[in-house]
Amino acid sequence: MKDKLMQAVNKLTSIGGSLQTPIAILPAAGLLLALGTVFTNPAFLEVLPFAENQVMLNIFNVLKETGNIVFGNLPLIFAAGVAIGLSNNDGVSALSAIVGYLIMNVTIGGVLSVTPEMVADSNMYVNMLGIPTIQTGVLGGIIIGVLASSVFNRFHDLELPPALSFFSGKRSVPIITAFSAVFLGIIMAIIWPPIQIGINNLSNFIVNLNVGFSGFMFGFIERLTIPFGMNHVWWPTFWLQAGEYINNAGQTINGDQLIFFSQLSDGVPITAGNFMNGLFVLKIFSMPAIALAMYNTAYDDQKKKIYGILTSAALTSIVAGVTEPLEFLFIFVAPGLFLVYAVVTGLGFTVMNLLGAHLGLSFSGGLLDFAFFNLLTVRTHWWILIPVGLMFFAINYYLFKFAILKFDYKTPGRSDKKESANATDKSKDYTDDFIKNIVIGLGGSENIKNVNACYSRLRVDVVDTDLVDKDVFTDYLNASGISLLGKNIQVIYGNQAVSIKEEVLSYLRGQESMYEFKKDTTSKEQVESEKLTTLKAPAKGKLMVLDDVPDEVFSSRAMGDGFAIEIDDNIVVAPVSGKIESIFPTKHAIAIVDEYNNEVLLHIGLDTVNLNGEGLRVNIEPGDYVEQGQVILELDNEFIKKSGYSLISPIIFTNMDKKKYKISIDNHRVVQRNDENIVEVKNQ
């Protein structure tokens, strides 16, 4: 029973995570809608009368309609997006979901004999892409997305007899999805009407509750589910389903967020926002206060080390509305404090709702959302955020400062001297099988939730970190280092990390592993300073010592010594001449071996593996020989920053003897692309 519950939770978590793909389009659509609304607003035109001309009005009306078309077809977008998110970004599943969504709606409309007259007379029905059908909303799109992805994951490698081989493999997926959608449509026609009535009643009940209480419960539970990744299941229910509004075209709009944008477009008073208001308080005011409290309670000798981490996390919350980098610094070391924090966050929603703020957002709840959808639209009582935000800044700052000092929570900068590592548990059944030993070291297959890798790190989410035998990785399993971030284990294996990930996944599927760890047999070059005097800056930017890099793996030099550049450029060149040893599939990391066998790793940005190659374009291939100063990569600087990722880029000498040599740089000096003599190698 417990295992089935865990499977259900994991499935919901996966679905919640997959919602991020279609939701990522909402900021663009919201921005188009906001610009169109602002620049056609009579109040705005009174202030800037020169904008009131037919050409500009036509342009901004088009922008407004382009935003509306996205919000009007969200169910189809969610169908394709969820399918992609649950099938490793395969486009075939998205095509299948689109086909399935159309067929499902035609089937529902046919079974229930839905007519245009029924659509006009009842909010229960809708014209979706010209198809008279029942109103399933975004939830209908999510359901078909799950169906399409399930079909893809089950049948994408289907083998058929030679006569039907054309339809084998991925080509079978849209066909199977189409027939499955017919049966799903029949089922939906039977079960959905009472479900829709129940959703409407629940929505009305929630919306008609005291706005302070309903907002508190939303904010409290939304934060409380963060550690489990279940917040992505919680908030879409309210943003995309709760509440009801009839727009100027007579269509029924459900969901707090969708109602907000519809009211924005219709030019009517804003009544939505009860489940969005408090996020602005949290992300623009509360999170920076928490970062400041952590900094001021850190030990003096550790403040310099954590300054960059806390500042970066606070700015990420303020500008981009991403709070997890800061929250995961205290979620697990101070769970009691996290519970209180969730309560205070809920109270932020309560206060904003009782004061009638009615703020809306497209995605994040940061400064960008606040400016475009509230400040510029002048119809959301945006000024209420300022005094409320300052009040909650003070509450969170003094709350966290008191709790950290009172209970001696080990937040960043308050760690005592490193405790000696626990001895490796010899009672565990370690064997000569390298991959099996990794699984055992991670606490066994039942302790492993998810396995991934970036260029150098095996990244594993585990159930219980206490079951992880950390010492065995560095003592016996050839890892350069191991890092524990919450319940995510990162094991440093260099450029073999991806291969090891695939072998671990195969082992977990029950396949026998034949993997042998390929230990570096090339003698470590004793790197002399004169051999690095010709190293050139790969890009324009600010030099940084590794100690200041807000990533434990790099700052601890687990991968090797080196330096970093905070790139302010759109071009990256080869810092040395040599052979391209490898390029990570997501393009964010490139390894070059020079003529002295020095292995130089360029890691573009931090956590940019999550971009899956977006914003990066490589100009070389593995095996190519490159000359120093040759362009090897182009990057979209602004896109990467707006996506919430840092462009602090470590350059690591992965095979340099750290016991004998140390990299020295002129810290925080700004260099230009191809500048020489930017590093110095010193004897230890």
Helix ranges restricted to H, 316-384: 324-327, 335-354, 367-370
Q: Which tokens go with 345?
A: 């966050």
Sheet of 616-618: strands edge to edge?
A: 571-573, 631-635, 616-618
Strand 448-453 to 571-573 pairing: unpaired
Backbone angles phi, psi at 556, to 5 degrees: -85, -5
Q: Which tokens go with 601?
A: 């790793």
SS3 of residue 679 by DSSP: coil
Alpha-carbon distance of 254 to 561, in angstroms, equals: 54
Q: Which residues of 9-21 are buried (b: 16+ CB within 10 A; e: fewer)?
A: eeebbbbbebbeb
Alpha-carbon distance of 249 to 127, in angstroms, equals: 12
Of 232, 358, 588, 603, catalytic: 603
Question: Tokens 């901004």 belong to which residue?
Answer: 60
Alpha-carbon distance of 352 to 383, in angstroms, equals: 11
In 10 A of CB 627, how many CB atoms? 10
Q: Are 251 and 126 in contact (CB under 8 A)?
A: yes
Strand 488-492 to 670-671 pairing: unpaired
Q: CA of 298: how far to CAs of 363, 373, 640, in Å?
A: 33, 37, 31
Q: Are 432 and 417 in contact (CB under 8 A)?
A: no
Q: Which tokens go with 618?
A: 């490589």
DSSP 373: I
Could you give the angle at the alpha carbon of 468 between the alpha carbons of 466 and 474, nearest 5°?
135
Alpha-carbon distance of 415 to 556, in angstroms, equals: 15
Is 381 part of the annotated catalytic residue set? no
Nearest CA among 305, 304, 238, 300 for reference residue 275:
238
Question: Tokens 């052979």 belong to which residue?
Answer: 579
Is 232 part of the annotated catalytic residue set? no
Q: Which residues of 436-471 are buried (b: 16+ CB within 10 A; e: fewer)?
A: bbbbbbbbeeebbeebbbbbbbbbbebeebeebbbb
Of 381, 454, 588, 668, catalytic: 454
Q: Are 81 and 47 in contact (CB under 8 A)?
A: no
Q: Which tokens go with 613?
A: 């190659």
> What single-letter amino acid sits at 80?
A
Give catalytic residue positions. 454, 603
